[in-house]
Structure 1
Amino acid sequence: MQETWRWFGPSDPVSLENIIQSGASGVVTSLHHIEVGAAWSLGEILKRKQLIEERGLVWSVVESVPVHNDIKLRKSHCQDYIEAYKETLKNLGEAGVKAVCYNFMPVVDWTRTNLMYKLPNESYALRFSMEAFVAYDLYILERHCAADSYTAEQIESARRYFESMSQEQIRQLESNIIAGLPGGADGFDRDGIRTAIDEYRNVSDDEFRQNLFAFLREVIPVAEKAGVRMCIHPDDPPFSLFGLPRVVSTADDARALLKASDSVANGLTLCAGSYGARGDNDLVAMVREFASRIHFVHLRNVRRQTDGSFYESEHLDGDNDMLGIVQALLQEEQRRRDCGRSDQAIPMRPDHGHLMADDIGKDSNPGYSMIGRLKGLAELRGVIHALENVGNLRAG
């Protein structure tokens, strides 16, 4: 597998020099300075590519080219934004950047309630608490008809949680949920997120799914012609938030998406942490079923609770079968080599990492400090090396 590393551009506290030190060869980045919905010019793409290549690295994956909200809701300027997206794909293909990760989550991107969840080993993880989220939705945001989204037990638990919170805890929770996390869309204030959510009030899962499929029918032929592989990131968490539709959460969702546009250019980002936050997703089975259409991999592990809560665990010590996932991916790479496919090495990155050691107290993006990801990459590298050298690639 090609080892890659997420980089948020020149302002990222983790530098390209640090990425070289990690041993990764590929960079996963985006042009975050360009407004969502605007086309990326070839000049801007080449400028970023040159910056990466001057350090002896390659720009392996774009993460992400954001999809404008007008596309998600099929609003009046939808076609204008789709044409801009097509232009971006053409320019990326011309520049030789061949994989584009994107998502179709409404309003909020990846969401956590605690960015500093202390673990027994004194490091810090990202956590999603269902109780805290429901408390925010019901008693802080006070979303219209929010109670309809929850059980009586969830509502009572959230009420007790809210009543125990200080004003600072309320402020911090709101910041964690709606202020924006790295790589996501712009953050909101309280009135702004209420307005954004209200736009989706009458949009069903099926309607939202059809909007996604309509987008794919437009952009996948362009991506295919440009030699670009689109790879959608799953919902994170993989279930509804704020009563909003979510359509990339399960194996059935992935199946429907791939069927909607049966092209190798229409593929998946296999995010083990996102899909794995649901206990009913069998990740090894998903890798085996969708293997030929997996164009990018996020290797991350979680510990789940029965109420939908989870925290991000050690890469090799969670509820997901990381060894089985990696083995299935390596077998797919072998199959691609046997078939002569050009994309034989699947780009993977250690997704997120614990805040630990000298990184504690330093400026870093939540989940994207240096040492925790370096630890995760080293562990995953060891798994890959072991599997490649014990004759397991053709097993199963």
Structure 2
Amino acid sequence: MMEKTWRWFGKKDPITLSMLRQIGVEGIVTALHDVPNGEVWTEEAIRDLQSYIEAHGLRWSVVESLPVCEAIKYAGPEREQLIENYKVSLANLGRCGVKTVCYNFMPVIDWVRTDLQHPWPDGTSSLYYDRIRFAYFDTKILARPGAEADYTEEELRRVAELDRTITEAEKDELVDTIIVKTQGFVNGNIREGDKNPVAIFRRLLAQYEGIDRAALRENMRYFLAAIMPVCEEYGVNMCVHPDDPPFQILGLPRIVTNEEDIRWFLEAVDNPHNGLTFCAGSLSAGTHNDTRELARQFARRTHFVHLRSTEAMPGGNFIESTHLSGRGHLIDLIRIFERENPGLPMRVDHGRMMLGDEDKGYNAGYSFHGRMLALAQVEGMMAVVADEMARGIRVD
């Protein structure tokens, strides 16, 4: 069955490897978080972390992530050197036997939410995306030129209504949520403690002036074509994470959002080492996506699976649902992947805050108790699927 992995943020993570071993985790998903973006991951540094993980009875299963620098995405003058550094890092990972690399090709900003602890009636909380609050950030706080054209008249009316009641503290929290807390802990462009993050963010956006969807696609194709020979030599599988959420934001092109996008990048560099991280949460946040149909189409080119789920709500909002509900349809995905591409590494993702998680300083979306509950739920689904397969029962 799928390998049960867990995203772990290194030796400073308050969630220890000993804790993970006790709850049934088999593989670790991590990165060399102390290495600045664009610099080479040395074989020595890789082996040091790998040995530490193995000393706890676990294995380093997946890199998430070896960051793709912005200059590669927008084809800046440093691109060639950055790609060369990336190739050296991939070769070093391959020599060490770490052969699955999850990355993304989202310009400037990684995953986007407007509320990190949206309350549920049972006292837990989860991540939430409110389109109007995001539009407020975009048009009023960021004041992006031309932003109003991306929203309907009704949405802009509601933004103006919010502007009359929102407090300065709420504005600061919105900035912190959108461009600091969800970005800084994953080798992001902005880190905790940066002064005036809005100004930094504006400068980052400006780097993409003139970069449209076609240009970003070409830059992704160029990057993948350049690194594939190294992937072939060392048996390393690259798997891109879908855009989260899977639609256009902030005037930036987003190019991994739906079936057509996935098919494009797989065919643009048609190599088995060029594959997909199937994130059910990201994909299900777009009402245009059916995760089950996407899994059926792309299971053979999937190298890593994120099992989480979202619930779409009126007005373009969405919330992280439980792993047993929502548009992710996780048990169906497990059935499809175990039939079409068995044994893939998978990790649960974006667990709820519960049982004191909110006071532990965990990274946004990466609680301990919430993800432990999610892992138990997913492990139960995996057991059901294993039983179905053992008895020759096929559920479509």
Deviations 1:230-282 (A, max 9, x none): 00000011111211010001111000010011111000000000011011111
- What is residue 307 of structure 1 aligned with on the other side? 315
Query: Quick one: distance in 1 between partners of 2:323 and 2:164?
Result: 35
The answer to whether the 8 Å contact 1:113/1:127 transfers is yes
Deviations 1:305-337 (A, max 9, x none): 24321110100111222221111111123xxxx
2:385 pairs, out of 384, 387, 396, with 387
What letter matches 1:371 in structure 2?
H
The answer to whether the 8 Å contact 2:181/2:364 transfers is no
Query: Quick one: distance in 2 between partners of 1:162 and 1:106?
Result: 28
Query: Quick one: distance in 2 between partners of 1:278 and 1:126?
Result: 16
1:362 pairs, out of 360, 363, 384, with 360
CA drift of 1:91 comes to 0.3
- What is residue 205 of structure 1 aligned with on the other side? 213
- What is residue 376 of structure 1 aligned with on the other side? 374
1:228 pairs, out of 227, 232, 236, with 236
2:188 pairs, out of 185, 197, 208, with 185
The answer to whether the 8 Å contact 1:25/1:57 transfers is yes
CA drift of 1:154 comes to 1.6
- What is residue 165 of structure 1 aligned with on the other side? 166
- What is residue 340 of structure 1 aligned with on the other side? none
- What is residue 16 of structure 1 aligned with on the other side? 17
Name the SS for the 1:100 alignment partner. Answer: strand
What letter matches 1:187 in structure 2?
I
Query: Quick one: distance in 2 between partners of 1:122 and 1:367?
Result: 16
CA drift of 1:349 comes to 0.4
Q: Given the superposition, is the C-alpha separation of residues 108 and 364 from structure 1 closer, same or farther in structure 2, using an over 3 Å criterion?
A: same
CA drift of 1:395 comes to 4.8
CA drift of 1:162 comes to 2.7
The answer to whether the 8 Å contact 2:33/2:187 transfers is no
Where do 5+ consecutive residues of structure 2 fail to align? 192-196
Q: Given the superposition, is the C-alpha separation of residues 184 and 23 from structure 1 closer, same or farther in structure 2, using an over 3 Å criterion?
A: same
The answer to whether the 8 Å contact 1:327/1:392 transfers is no
Query: Quick one: distance in 1 between partners of 2:120 and 2:294?
Result: 30
CA drift of 1:118 comes to 0.5
Query: Quick one: distance in 2 between partners of 1:115 and 1:382?
Result: 27
Name the SS for the 2:6 alignment partner. Answer: strand
What letter matches 1:310 in structure 2?
F
CA drift of 1:352 comes to 1.3
The answer to whether the 8 Å contact 2:126/2:352 transfers is yes
Q: Given the superposition, is the C-alpha separation of residues 119 and 263 from structure 1 closer, same or farther in structure 2, using an over 3 Å criterion?
A: same
Query: Quick one: distance in 2 between partners of 1:163 and 1:60?
Result: 50
Give the aligned length. Answer: 386
CA drift of 1:392 comes to 5.8
Name the SS for the 2:316 alignment partner. Answer: coil
Query: Quick one: distance in 1 between partners of 2:27 and 2:289?
Result: 29
The answer as to 2:345 corresponding to 1:347 is yes
CA drift of 1:163 comes to 2.2
What letter matches 2:158 in structure 1?
S
The answer as to 2:314 corresponding to 1:284 is no
Name the SS for the 2:315 alignment partner. Answer: coil
Instruction: Trace 1:1-396 onto structure 2 (pairs within 5 A).
Output: 1-181=2-182, 182-187=185-190, 189-333=197-341, 344-390=342-388, 391=391, 394-396=394-396
39-48 or 307-316: bigger deviation: 307-316
The answer to whether the 8 Å contact 2:335/2:395 transfers is no
The alignment's TM-score, normalised by the length of structure 2, stands at: 0.95
The answer to whether the 8 Å contact 1:238/1:274 transfers is yes
The alignment's TM-score, normalised by the length of structure 1, stands at: 0.95
The answer to whether the 8 Å contact 2:132/2:159 transfers is yes
CA drift of 1:360 comes to 3.1
Where do 5+ consecutive residues of structure 1 fail to align? 334-343
- What is residue 194 of structure 2 aligned with on the other side? none
Query: Quick one: distance in 2 between partners of 1:307 and 1:372?
Result: 27
CA drift of 1:120 comes to 1.1
What letter matches 1:109 in structure 2?
D
Q: Given the superposition, is the C-alpha separation of residues 84 and 132 from structure 1 closer, same or farther in structure 2, using an over 3 Å criterion?
A: same
Name the SS for the 1:45 alignment partner. Answer: helix
What letter matches 2:199 in structure 1?
D
- What is residue 339 of structure 1 aligned with on the other side? none
Query: Quick one: distance in 1 between partners of 2:367 and 2:273?
Result: 32
The answer to whether the 8 Å contact 1:180/1:186 transfers is no
Name the SS for the 1:389 alignment partner. Answer: helix
Query: Quick one: distance in 2 between partners of 1:156 and 1:198?
Result: 27
Structure 1 segments of 4+ aligned residues over 6 angstroms from their partners: none
318-327 or 75-84: bigger deviation: 318-327
The answer to whether the 8 Å contact 2:190/2:200 transfers is no
Query: Quick one: distance in 2 between partners of 1:349 and 1:138?
Result: 36
The answer to whether the 8 Å contact 1:205/1:245 transfers is yes
Q: Given the superposition, is the C-alpha separation of residues 102 and 392 from structure 1 closer, same or farther in structure 2, using an over 3 Å criterion?
A: farther
CA drift of 1:362 comes to 2.0
